[in-house]
Amino acid sequence: MQQPPVIEIRDLHKSYGSLEVLKGVSLTARRGEVVSMIGSSGSGKSTLLRCANLLEDSQQGDILFKGEAVHWRGTGMHRRPGDAKQVLRIRTNLSMVFQQFNLWSHMTILQNVMEAPLTVLGRDRAEVEEKARAYLAKVGIGDKADAWPAQLSGGQQQRAAIARGLCMEPEALLFDEPTSALDPELEQEVVKVIKDLANEGRTMILVTHDMRLAADVSDTVVFLHQGLVEEMGPPADVFGAPKSERLKQFLSATQ
């Protein structure tokens, strides 16, 4: 049986001023699915993730979270009363992991992981600490709880950022080029964590330049080109038998 959708994006249009960045994009991530987004720089991948996470609003189209329509446009650009609560609830259910880790430098690793569950979700401190330590151990840096971000390698910092996302116990994880800022030897330790999460059946949308990772973990690969889905399908089709000329060109350029 098909799993229910966690995130559904339908015909999304997004402009910055007169620049139309997303020109009618649709994408669904069902429970337990890994959807990877590939495409050239500037094709709109980060914008789509930011829209999915409600960090950006959009001009047209629909975003649904577990079947619930996001009410955030209202009439004109005004949000309806109560919408801020909905946005917060959905956003806290979609943990985002960025290319640049974005850890708080004035907090220890443990504090970084505990911060949002404590302050945003208002959870019990002892419970959060236990979970935070468990997630740090899970990503292989259980011994770094009391270190400062600057004392960690890039790969360790990114794993801390993933632990921070996991500690929110979200419905889905959104990754925006999580390995792009890392040296090749550090990249693999983050790749391993992402693969483990995929194998656990986590729902994920993964923007990546790492075609091997996309091929390994994805149920669906989406090739975005100039703000449109140019081609999408299972990795065996997208990588093994691409149909679009643009996708063929993109893949040969990334070999």
Q: Which of 168, 167, 219, 165 minimizes the C-alpha distance to 178?
A: 165
Q: Is 178 in the site for ligand ADP (CB under 6 A)?
A: no
Taking the C-alpha atoms of residue 118 and residue 249, their distance in angstroms, rounded to an integer, is: 47
DSSP 3-state of 73: coil
Taking the C-alpha atoms of residue 164 and residue 154, their distance in angstroms, rounded to an integer, is: 15
Q: Is 38 in the site for ligand ADP (CB under 6 A)?
A: no
Nearer residue to ligand ADP within complex by CB, 45 or 73 = 45
Q: Is 203 in the site for Mg ion (CB under 5 A)?
A: no
Q: How far is the CB of 42 from Mg ion (least distance, A)?
A: 8
> Helices in 93-220 by DSSP H: which ranges?
109-119, 125-138, 154-167, 184-199, 211-217
Nearer residue to Mg ion within complex by CB, 46 or 58 = 46
Q: Is 36 in the site for Mg ion (CB under 5 A)?
A: no
The closest residue (CB) to Mg ion is: 46
Q: Is 200 in the site for ligand ADP (CB under 6 A)?
A: no
Contact 169/95 with Cβ under 8 angstroms?
A: no
User: Which residue from 46, 86, 179, 208 is in contact with Mg ion, where contact means CB under 5 A?
Assistant: 46
Q: Is 4 in the site for ligand ADP (CB under 6 A)?
A: no
Q: Where does this chain bind ligand ADP (CB under 6 A)?
A: 16, 19, 21, 39, 41-47
